[in-house]
Amino acid sequence: MILLTGLILAIPGLIYWLWKQESIYAKQAHQKWLRYPDVELYLRKTTPGGRKSGPTCHHCGSRSIRQLGWEERHDARRLHKCNQCNTSLYRSYR
Ligand SMILES: [Zn+2]
Q: What is the pLDDT of residues 61-71, one digit of tens each?
A: 999 999 999 99
Which residues, including other chains, have CB under 8 Å from residue 79's CB and lie 6 or more apart? 33, 36, 67, 68, 69, 70, 88, 90, 91
Rounded to the nearest angstrom, the distance between the alpha carbon of 75 and the centre of ligand 1 is 23
Q: Are residues 48 and 19 part of one domain? A: no
The reported pLDDT for the residue numbered 7 is: 80
Rounded to the nearest angstrom, the distance between the alpha carbon of 89 and the centre of ligand 1 is 9
Q: Count of domains in the chain? A: 2
Full domain range(s) for residue 27: 1-35
The stretches in the chain having pLDDT less than 50 are none
Rounded to the nearest angstrom, the distance between the alpha carbon of 64 and the centre of ligand 1 is 8
The reported pLDDT for the residue numbered 54 is: 84
Q: Are residues 41 and 31 part of one domain? A: no
